[in-house]
Chain A
């Protein structure tokens, strides 16, 4: 009994440690006082102020735009890459999979810096396009990681069955393979979108004047002194990411159930 309580208290402390900062941030975004020490009553005014700030509005626009295009393009490239990887022989596949993992574990700052140096070395102007390209680059491996398991759990004769029935390879891809791995593709898109929305380091290195995303705006605002609008903005970003995470989890728990069913017959 005592042991059980100790376990509970320990768990409670861990969660406090993890979530207290976020809770504080959210609570203070509703605080009607500029000083962080006192509670001046409940207010939405920071949120209202947020949406009157032109810089923030433009950053929101770019964030969503980049996230949408980066997620879409990387989903297409990543899905096709995953199909290619899946059809490779075991040896080469292992090599390419490890090459694929490298960007995932590579520190963001290294990725960001190396992309920046690459763009500068080919005389590319840093701005919207360079940031978009960077986001596509770091999104692709995650899409591949989301799609590949769906391919592996698919009956390996499905594509052959389509060809056997007279389908050209591209018809088989469109009508059989893609619909079959759709849950993985959607999950990959959502992961890419989420990563793109909350990226700071890589965006910071690869964007140019006039084009910023929300993370960069928050960073520069924080340097000038923490205003409660930052809390409000961060809370909104947190909310957006939470919703996306929720969608991803729902999606993947659905597909897990499908997989179990596949194994049934």
Chain B
């Protein structure tokens, strides 16, 4: 990964209300950046500002160091894969992919070769003369990617491209997309509300909420070291508990004091404590740090998801072993499983 290719500096966007509030982020060459957040968080608007379909109300957007705030989309070296693909129904597969090349007045022979190699890349060789409407969702998806990639953009924007596919196909496409990105060496900016998808595919994840960026970091950092309660809750299931940081490495919550690995908070600062459900181990009663009673136990495929009511908190625990509802159990976790977050975010 090299230089910054796209940079957003304090970008805001107002319609009647403010949908983006001073967003700043940068994308490096060949990076796979994902904008992750619930619907209405401003992630699609951010993508549309990068694509040139919306202009920012405030702030500046740089492409390779140059301001492109008011450059129209057809003059940007950026291509987009739209949410519902937006393939041209009156053109066949070949003409859809060739659309951008024809605008650049490329020779017919070169167009043919380019389209052919793109179809090969997306695994749809021989589909040239097919009608768009005769293709399945997954195939349309691939054509949309081919149509964008054939123009050799410096940056490819993808707006929830896998949203309309079923779970199995979505998983396959995630891996394929990631491989394609490595193969063609193009910067991807990806929008999704699916946290698992974001963690699987990205080099960098930017978590957004209410038009603001909550945290930017690698998937591992985002998952293990969420900066605030929103991120912790949105990235996977979490138990978020009120606590007090007594000193470096010492925190108390649920009326008990624990060792932890976090430091640098003010003395007796009120904090959020995050315990991941998969980090908690169910043990015999009195053998763990906390005691409780199992109130619910649901089979989720790989694991069971159980709710354990302790004295003053309902803890979610994931385990491959089932504990019966009504059983009294103990809960155990280590210092490194306790994540402390400042309440200011």
Please list the residues of chain A having a beta carbon within 8 angstroms of any beta carbon in chain B. 155, 157-158, 160-169, 171, 175-176, 179-180, 182, 261-262, 265
Query: Are A262 and B103 in contact, CB atoms less than 8 angstroms apart?
Result: no
Contact A265 to B99, CB < 8 A, known contacts A164-B80, A166-B74, A166-B151: no
Q: Which residues of B contact A158 (CB under 8 A)?
A: 86, 88
- Top 5 nearest A-B pairs by Cβ distance? A165-B100, A157-B86, A161-B86, A157-B82, A179-B90
B74→A180 contact, CB < 8 A = no
Question: Once the chains are docked, how many angstroms separate the CA of A171 from the CA of B99?
Answer: 11
Q: Does B89 have its Cβ within 8 Å of any Cβ on chain A?
A: yes
**Cα(A21)–Cα(B25), bound, Å:** 76
B147 touches A157 (CB 8 A): no
Q: Is B51 positioned at the interface, with any CB of A under 8 Å from its CB?
A: yes
Q: Which of B83, B137, B147 meets A165, CB within 8 Å?
A: B147
A-B contact pairs, 10 of them (CB 8 A): A158-B88, A160-B73, A160-B80, A163-B53, A164-B51, A164-B148, A166-B104, A167-B103, A175-B99, A265-B133
Give min CB distance, A199 to chain B, whole Å. Answer: 34
- Chain B: minimal CB distance from A166 (Å): 4
In chain A, what residue has the closest Cβ to B53? A160
Among residues of B, the one whose C-beta sits closest to the C-beta of A158 is B86
B218 interface contact, C-beta 8 A: no
> Could you tell me if B99 and A162 are in contact, using CB atoms closer than 8 angstroms?
yes
A155 touching B86 by the CB < 8 A rule? Answer: yes
CB-defined contacts of B140 to chain A, threshold 8 Å: 265
Pairwise interchain contact A160-B82, C-beta atoms closer than 8 A: yes
Q: Is B79 an interface residue (CB 8 A)?
A: yes
Contacts of A166 in B (CB 8 A): 74, 100, 103-104, 151
A158, A171, A182, A261, most chain B CB atoms within 10 A: A158
Which residues of chain B have a CB within 8 Å of any CB of chain A? 51-53, 72-74, 78-80, 82-84, 86-90, 99-100, 103-104, 133, 136-137, 140, 147-148, 151
A33 to B152, CA, bound (A): 79
Q: Which residues of A contact B99 (CB under 8 A)?
A: 162, 165, 167, 175
Known: A161-B88, A169-B74; 4 extra A-B contacts, CB below 8 A, are: A155-B86, A160-B53, A160-B73, A167-B74
| Chain B contacts for A162, CB-based, 8 A | 88, 99
Chain A interface mostly: helix
Chain A residue contacts of B74, Cβ below 8 A: 163-169
Q: Chain A nearest CB: distance from B118 CB in Å? A: 13
Q: Are A176 and B84 in contact (CB under 8 A)?
A: no
Contact indicator A163/B104 (Cβ below 8 Å): no
Known A171-B103, A265-B140: A165·B90 in contact at CB below 8 Å: no
Distance A169 CA – B73 CA, assembled complex (angstroms): 10
Is A165 a contact of B151 with CB atoms below 8 Å? yes
> Of residues B52, B53, B86, B87, which shows the largest number of chain A Cβ atoms within 10 Å of its Cβ?
B86
Chain A positions within 8 Å of B90 at CB level: 179-180, 182
Smallest Cβ distance from B283 to chain A, in angstroms?
51
Q: How many whole Å from B225's CB to the nearest CB in chain A?
A: 36
Q: How many A-B residue pairs have CB under 8 A?
A: 67
A166 to B133, CA, bound (A): 24
* CB of A49 to closest CB in B, whole Å: 49
With A165-B151, A166-B74, A180-B90 already in contact, the answer to whether A157 and B83 are too (CB < 8 A) is yes
CB distance from A152 to the nearest CB of B (A): 15
- A155-B84 in contact (CB<8A): yes
How distant is the Cα of A3 from the Cα of B282 in the complex, in angstroms?
A: 74
List chain A residues, Cβ under 8 A from B87: 161
Interface centre among A158, A164, A180 (most CB of B within 10 A): A164
Q: Which residues of A contact B52 (CB under 8 A)?
A: 163
Known: A163-B74, A165-B99, A165-B151. A262 touches B86 (CB 8 A): no
A175-B82 Cα distance, complex, nearest whole Å: 19
User: A171 — which chain B residues lie within 8 A by C-beta?
Assistant: 103
- Minimal Cβ-Cβ distance residue in B for A168: B74
**A residues near B51, Cβ cutoff 8 Å:** 160, 164
CA of A180 to CA of B88, assembled, Å: 8
Indicate which residue in B89, B148, B151 contacts A262 across the interface (CB closer than 8 Å). B89
Closest chain-A Cβ to B210's Cβ sits at a distance in Å of: 25
A261 touches B82 (CB 8 A): no
Q: Among the interface residues B89, B136, B137, which one has the most CB atoms of the partner chain A within 10 A?
A: B89
**How many Å lie between the Cα of A53 and that of B87 in the bound state?**
56
Cα A171 to Cα B104 with chains together (Å): 12
* B80: A residues at CB distance < 8 A: 160-161, 164
CA distance A168 to B72 in the complex (A): 9
Residues of B within 8 A of A261 (CB): 133
Q: Are B89 and A180 in contact (CB under 8 A)?
A: yes
B100 and A163 contact, CB distance less than 8 A: no
- Once the chains bind, are A176 and B88 in contact (CB under 8 Å)? yes
| Interchain CA distance A175-B53 in the complex, whole Å | 19
Compute how far the CA of A167 lies from the CA of B100 in the bound complex, rounded to whole angstroms: 7
Nearest B residue to A159, CB-CB: B86
Q: How far is the CB of B14 from chain A (nearest CB, A)?
A: 15
User: Which of chain B's residues has its CB closest to A179's CB?
Assistant: B90
**B137 engages A265 (CB within 8 Å):** yes
How near does chain A come to B130, taking the closest CB pair, in angstroms?
A: 14
Chain A residues near B100 (CB-CB < 8 A): 165-166
Return B36 CB to nearest CB of chain A, in Å: 21
